[in-house]
Structure 1
């Protein structure tokens, strides 16, 4: 078997490469720059440089189609939203040459568009934060005084496209608001950038969890759960340290939702267990491989290999048992950024340092004695990302705008 894994700078892609490589699959990797984390893995036999999907998804897809037509791959894997969605959108073009392990685009939108996700969750009887679906600023003004604050204001889609170029609207500190004035301000910004009114949800105090699954047309084939121990940004972001757990309170609603969606493939369902009533509330669904993929693989729930066998063979046996208490961190650069951010805002810096070192951790998303070179690719990718961010900020400052308005069209 031979596969192509794109997004070679991503932690999830590295986990896919290592998983499939250890299983004897020949792995080739791609990224829009040389010396990515995956390309330096000992499990990659060939690496290529492709167009940057962050600049133009159409050029990326055209290149990918031509490349797949010339090479012979059994499966194409991708891990970022800015690649999985275009690949899903152009799935019929690419499936002429290889297998594509993602649902069709319309079904992918059920997890990418948060309004669709939460409406389906309501239909499936899955608990969600109190959510306001408003369609205009006038509707927002009518309910603003009735809302119980604080609330979280979210773009309906994290990633959108304008002329083939993706634009990301993440939840940051400014998205947490405590009064009608702040609600109107951030909602107006999101409407201007995305072209759609945002979702408004009550803030859920409590701890964050993930339920990862492999499903065969809505029926579970593999299941794993983790608790977030640390995340960056500290206001709510990706996990930088997490551990395996099992909790039926999480498994049941997650499986119910994905069965309702008739999902085929991998997905992660995120919850926060409400500190006020102990009920897990849905936060979001990622219909693709997730950043913390190295943890379930370390706990012997090998999602990349299971997905590969399901795509190639048609189905796989059910696997739902694993050890609890397995920990995995993203030291470089995620947990170090958590440390720097926490030291900046904490009253007790000693307490932050104690928190940083208190968890014994045998596994890391990147660092590995068995496969050491990808850390150099991670550092290279981080420096490139920093330069890209600086260029974008300088460009915005010169133009006096925060960027072009996005559309949902690829």
Structure 2
């Protein structure tokens, strides 16, 4: 295995799990980050090499140049694996150039951005017959009337470009309950130069969120897939997964597979759906076009996405797999799940007994691994440092 694997974004557990998923097979893993600060993923015993590159957003041109300079020095093309949306966005703008020096699944420059952008994703979904939540643009005629009659309150103000919005507001969206709150949210977005849309909330608790996680080969065909059900998110109701179980959901498979193949996607994609509590219909919410929170769970139930990606791109594709059963194994990000549980109980959405019952199942941990404990210790140190700083400011 002469091809190294360069992993972008190791200050989060997605990068850590990617390093582990590859390192356990003896693959040379390279943690590429813009800073040593908080990159606990690089503490893994499976991390073979660490490099520092310019910031992907503040200095994107030199970031790309640094990656290329690194690749030029290697004996074989490295496999490039981004573990954060912002890395994907920057790489997508230079995809044709990057592909000269790296192995990366996607071949169509701009497609990553299309599926990550809420407006263009909606257009693709509608074109292919996939249900999406009703959406109103802020510049539409009769805007207020459409909000009152089609969208109704409460509703969501969502960014078209999620990474930029999250970076500025430290949240994924605004939930508003009145026209005054809506106008205030729109003003905040405008002042921050963020383009947003207004969307209907699909009824149903957080356990109505489901995922279809799949790998599409270089022929654009789904070769590996797993379905999952979220149980808890943080922030609650409209956040990232902190407790999700693998569950076979056959209703998702055909429509999700057909959609990804129809748009000619290649590589890993995770489609998030929400099941309407009133109609039972599944609505496409978003697509993650990079390794996701659930990576370790997927690997433990037989779908090691980083390894599948690496092996196909280096010329030794693995046999197709589909998990048509429910293992009931859960992904668990313990620290944020504790925060989520606090808020679910505080708002009356869950009881203590609900939570206790949910925890009794085999788990895939976000950070902890008995065989590779250093990242967890480093992460604990980071959290404690932040806690002490907050206490010191009081």
TM-score tier, shorter chain, comes to 0.7 to 0.9
Match of 1:75 in 2: 79
Match of 1:13 in 2: 15
Q: In 2 relative to 1, CA 352–388 (structure 1 residues): closer, same or farther, beyond 3 Å?
A: farther
Alignment of 1:316-327 (within 5 A): 316-321=318-323, 323-327=325-329
Q: 1:270 and 2:272 equivalent?
A: yes
Shift of 1:29: 1.4
Q: In 2 relative to 1, CA 197–36 (structure 1 residues): closer, same or farther, beyond 3 Å?
A: closer
Q: 1:48 and 2:51 equivalent?
A: yes
Q: Contact 1:306–1:316 at 8 Å: present in 2 too?
A: yes
Shift of 1:369: 1.1
Q: In 2 relative to 1, CA 292–212 (structure 1 residues): closer, same or farther, beyond 3 Å?
A: same
Q: Distance in 2 between matches of 1:28 and 1:334?
A: 27
Question: SS where residue 204 of structure 1 aligns?
Answer: coil
Q: Contact 2:92–2:113 at 8 Å: present in 1 too?
A: no
Alignment of 1:97-108 (within 5 A): 97-108=101-112
Q: Contact 1:191–1:198 at 8 Å: present in 2 too?
A: no
Gaps of 5+ in 2: none
Q: Contact 1:158–1:168 at 8 Å: present in 2 too?
A: no
Question: SS where residue 341 of structure 1 aligns?
Answer: helix
Q: Distance in 2 between matches of 1:76 and 1:160?
A: 22
Match of 2:32 in 1: 30
Shift of 1:277: 0.9
Q: Distance in 2 between matches of 1:52 and 1:18?
A: 24
Question: SS where residue 325 of structure 1 aligns?
Answer: coil
- Deviation string for 1:336-373 (max 9, x for gaps)? 32234345544987457636x74333321211112111
Gaps of 5+ in 1: 390-410
Q: In 2 relative to 1, CA 50–346 (structure 1 residues): closer, same or farther, beyond 3 Å?
A: farther
Shift of 1:222: 0.5
Q: In 2 relative to 1, CA 252–353 (structure 1 residues): closer, same or farther, beyond 3 Å?
A: closer
Q: Contact 1:159–1:169 at 8 Å: present in 2 too?
A: no
Of 96, 113, 117, which residue of structure 2 is paired with 1:92? Answer: 96
Q: In 2 relative to 1, CA 195–362 (structure 1 residues): closer, same or farther, beyond 3 Å?
A: closer
Shift of 1:89: 1.4
Q: Distance in 1 between matches of 2:386 and 2:89?
A: 21
- Deviation string for 1:76-118 (max 9, x for gaps)? 1111011121122122333333223344441112211111111
Q: Contact 1:211–1:225 at 8 Å: present in 2 too?
A: yes
Q: In 2 relative to 1, CA 387–62 (structure 1 residues): closer, same or farther, beyond 3 Å?
A: farther
Match of 1:249 in 2: 251
Q: 1:153 and 2:154 equivalent?
A: no
Question: SS where residue 363 of structure 1 aligns?
Answer: strand
Q: In 2 relative to 1, CA 382–107 (structure 1 residues): closer, same or farther, beyond 3 Å?
A: farther
Q: Contact 1:30–1:48 at 8 Å: present in 2 too?
A: yes
Q: Contact 1:209–1:271 at 8 Å: present in 2 too?
A: yes
Q: Distance in 2 between matches of 1:349 and 1:144?
A: 34
Q: Contact 2:242–2:334 at 8 Å: present in 1 too?
A: no
Question: SS where residue 203 of structure 1 aligns?
Answer: coil
Q: 1:115 and 2:114 equivalent?
A: no
Q: Distance in 2 between matches of 1:262 and 1:5?
A: 24
Q: In 2 relative to 1, CA 121–21 (structure 1 residues): closer, same or farther, beyond 3 Å?
A: same
Q: Contact 2:133–2:199 at 8 Å: present in 1 too?
A: no
TM-score (normalizing by structure 1): 0.83
Shift of 1:42: 1.4
Match of 2:371 in 1: 370
Q: Distance in 1 between matches of 2:11 and 2:266?
A: 26
Deviates more, 1:51-60 or 1:213-222: 51-60
Shift of 1:136: 1.5
Q: 1:295 and 2:297 equivalent?
A: yes
Match of 1:236 in 2: 238
Q: Contact 2:332–2:363 at 8 Å: present in 1 too?
A: no
Question: SS where residue 48 of structure 2 aligns?
Answer: strand
Question: SS where residue 14 of structure 2 aligns?
Answer: helix
Q: Contact 1:82–1:166 at 8 Å: present in 2 too?
A: no
Shift of 1:310: 1.7
Shift of 1:184: 2.4
Q: Contact 1:214–1:220 at 8 Å: present in 2 too?
A: yes
Two-structure CA RMSD over aligned residues (Å): 3.0
Q: Distance in 2 between matches of 1:291 and 1:170?
A: 17
Aligned residues: 383
Q: Distance in 2 between matches of 1:229 and 1:94?
A: 38
Q: Distance in 2 between matches of 1:368 and 1:322?
A: 27
